Amino acid sequence: MNKFELLGLNEALLQAINDMGFETPSEVQEKAIPILLQEDTDMVALAQTGTGKTAAFGFPLIQKIDANNRKTQGLILSPTRELCLQITNELKNYSKYSKGLNTVAIYGGASITEQAAQIKKGAQIIVATPGRMQDMVNRRLVDISAIEYCILDEADEMLNMGFYEDITEILSHTPKEKSTWLFSATMPKEVATIAKKFMRTPVEITVGTKNMGTSSVSHEYFVVNARDRYAALKRLADANPDIFSVIFCRTKRDTQKVAEQLIEDGYNAAAIHGDLSQNQRDLVMKSFRARQIQMLVATDVAARGIDVDDITHVINYQLPDEIETYTHRSGRTGRAGKSGVSMVIVSKSEARKIRGIEKIIGQSFERKEIPDGREICEVQLFHLANEISKTEINHEIDRYLPSINELFEGLTKEELLKKFFSVEFTRFFNYYNNAQDLNAKASNEVYEDEGDSTRFFINVGAKDDFDWMSLKDFLKATLDLGRDDVNRVEVKDSFSFFNVDSSKAEEVIRIFQDFKHNGRHINVEITKKSAGKERSGGGRKGGGGYKGKDKGGRSFDKSSKGTDKGRRRSSDSPASGKRRSSDAGSGGRQGKKSGGRSSSIESSIKRRRSKK
């Protein structure tokens, strides 16, 4: 007897299973199907992605539904449009011999009237994304008042994406007497909460190890004066050249404003909020997925449903009104096993709220400093150096080489390198030269004065398999220092920063002179003095902050535009970004109006990479 038959599945399903070529049930199917077929029970099933969860609920659902009754009896909620369509497809395959059974998909970004018409024809099973479902429930385009089975698929993802309210709202329109089956890859607190709230003594099934959900997101906050918020945002972006981020604002208006400012300053940014048409939103999301947009500025509502992996940073430009919303925001990063950073920019008076958020997320925040100009110049310089060292040589260049050679005849390699890097470095240097310290001291915060501490640069980083903890250990061991003597360790790709008490600075330099690690020469340099002392000593206070300066010096203004524009493909609207990348093959450089040659190098590197 076929193993699926042993589970109690009927002939119509067995035939379909045979057609699909499934031979043996997967573990979650073996465990879930008999129970769901025999009992009317709630269930929580935890199993990793790809373990066959769709069939685990799909087979029993199809068998239990009365195909002669045209009423909607089963509702499946799933986090994204893609999954929604995938599940619908699978269910249609499973039920191809189950006469009269009809499954309809409901999801955003497609005609709602069309979907309503399909439902009207009779859909015993609806597969839906929460946002569109709620919309249709509110408009009375669907009737779920008599459903018998409700399935929450990928519950962890749905909650991650901020669909908690929608789910609650949708479920409130369903009868109390029904079976709820929850399927999830992980069991974070939020999923446990929802199970408790909506289910009655569910049968629990676990396949593999129970995964509590990864806390691969680290949380950081920055305290600035309210008027420096935007400048701080730019610095955070500049200090992270590979940033691929969602930036949250509180209102549609702020979202639009910040995005416009970023675009004007030459960043690849765009806004997404409720005032955009569905079509516009789709376009923005398409460019974001294609990495043509590095900074997506969003409202909380519009960001629900953003299912993009690899987001490196979530930036809370403003804290949400309800601090509970923070979880939904930070959940946009650190997905699919990757790590991510959630940053919060707060004013002094808002800094208190951080403690409240820590309680909610059960994780602590690290207070960080908005990087200063020097640090950004260094990051950008080494980023460029890194990119260049990784770049494959394009031999089309060979034929131009004689004339280029002629131009640089007589320069040593060192002089040439200096010149080459100055092109980019000088832009940043001019922009950030004399840039003001944007960090405000938070009064009530746990923020120990660092005393007189010195910040160092070291030419090892993530590339050398260091993370901040291992680098700290390495430094402590090498420098023979105590537990708290090395701090503010920050590891970048090919280099890092750390702080040591200034009294030990000379010692640090001495130890690292002619020091080798894994056969590589280690270079350690002082970057700047840290802590309040040096900064408050500066006479820049009168400048009236960032804005004042921006207005004050015209040359600054100009160079700022030049800097940013050249560097980041100015005003890349999704459309122009597309055009440009397709231009790239046929002399796309000429298409560049501003920015000049040097910038083309870096942006063409970026372009190349973004296409990967």
- Residues forming the site for ligand ADP (CB under 6 A): 22, 25-26, 29, 47, 49-55
Cα(419)–Cα(415) distance, integer angstroms: 6
Query: Which of 455, 470, 454, 546 is closest to 503 using CA atoms?
Result: 454
Minimum CB–partner distance for residue 18 and ligand ADP (Å): 11
Q: How far is the CB of 153 from ligand ADP (least distance, A)?
A: 7
Dihedrals phi, psi of 453, to nearest 5 degrees: -120, 150
* Span near Mg ion by CB under 5 A; candidates 50-58, 512-520, 575-583, 602-610: 50-58
Residue 22 interaction partner, one of Mg ion, ligand ADP, none, beta carbon < 5-8 Å per kind: ligand ADP
Comparing CA positions, the residue from 602, 576, 572, 6 lying closest to residue 264 is 572
CB of 288 to ligand ADP, least distance (A): 24
- Residue 219: which of 337, 348, 362 has the closest Cα? 362
Say which entry of ligand ADP, Mg ion, none residue 60 contacts (CB below 5 to 8 A, set by partner kind).
none
Write out the binding residues for Mg ion, residues 51-70 only, by CB under 5 A: 53
* Site size with Mg ion, rule: CB under 5 A: 1
51 vs 330 by CB, closer to ligand ADP: 51
Stretch that binds Mg ion, among 49-57, 294-302, 311-319, 385-393 (CB under 5 A): 49-57
Token pair belonging to 512: 């690292």
CA 161 to CA 296: how far, in whole Å? Answer: 16
DSSP strands (E only) in 453-530: 453-458, 486-491, 496-501, 515-517, 520-522, 524-529
Nearer to ligand ADP by C-beta: 208 or 596?
A: 208
| Closest CB 188 distance from ligand ADP, rounded Å | 17
| Nearest distance from C-beta of residue 51 to Mg ion, angstroms | 9
Write down the least CB distance from residue 41 to ligand ADP, Å. Answer: 20
DSSP-H helix ranges across 80-154? 81-94, 112-120, 130-138
Residue 55 binding target from ligand ADP, Mg ion, none, CB below 5 to 8 Å by type: ligand ADP
Instruction: Return all residues near 462 (Cβ < 8 A) that are at least 6 apart.
Output: 491, 492, 493, 494
Characterize the bridge pairing of strands 269-272 and 103-106.
Answer: unpaired
Q: How is the beta sheet containing 245-248 ordered, strand by strand?
A: 269-272, 295-298, 245-248, 313-316, 340-346, 217-223, 365-367
Least distance (Å) from ligand ADP to the CB of residue 4?
8
215 binds, among ligand ADP, Mg ion, none (CB under 5 to 8 A by kind): none
Angstrom distance (rounded) from CA 557 to CA 554? 5
Residue nearest to Mg ion (CB): 53
From ligand ADP, Mg ion, none, interface partner of 316 (C-beta below 5 to 8 A by class): none
Nearest CB to ligand ADP, comparing residues 58 and 562: 58
Determine the 3-state secondary structure of 329 from DSSP. Answer: helix
Residue 28 or 298: which CB sits closer to Mg ion?
28
To which residue do tokens 């009317």 refer?
Answer: 40
State whether residue 404 is helix, strand or coil: helix
Closer to ligand ADP at the Cβ: 26 or 573? 26
- Give the C-alpha separation, 327 to 104, whole Å: 32
Tell me how far, at minimum, the Cβ of 58 lies from Mg ion, in Å.
10
H/E run at residue 468:
helix 468-479
Partner interacting with residue 50 (select from ligand ADP, Mg ion, none; CB below 5-8 Å by kind) = ligand ADP
CB-nearer residue toward Mg ion: 53 or 427: 53
Complex with ligand ADP: residue 30 or 464, whichever CB lies closer: 30
> Per CB under 5 A, which region of 13-21, 47-55, 97-105, 415-423 contacts Mg ion?
47-55
Question: Minimum distance from CB of 53 to ligand ADP (Å)?
Answer: 3
- Cα separation, 105 vs 127, in Å, equals 5
Q: Which does 51 bind (CB under 5 to 8 A by kind): ligand ADP, Mg ion, none?
A: ligand ADP
- Binding residues for Mg ion, per CB under 5 A? 53
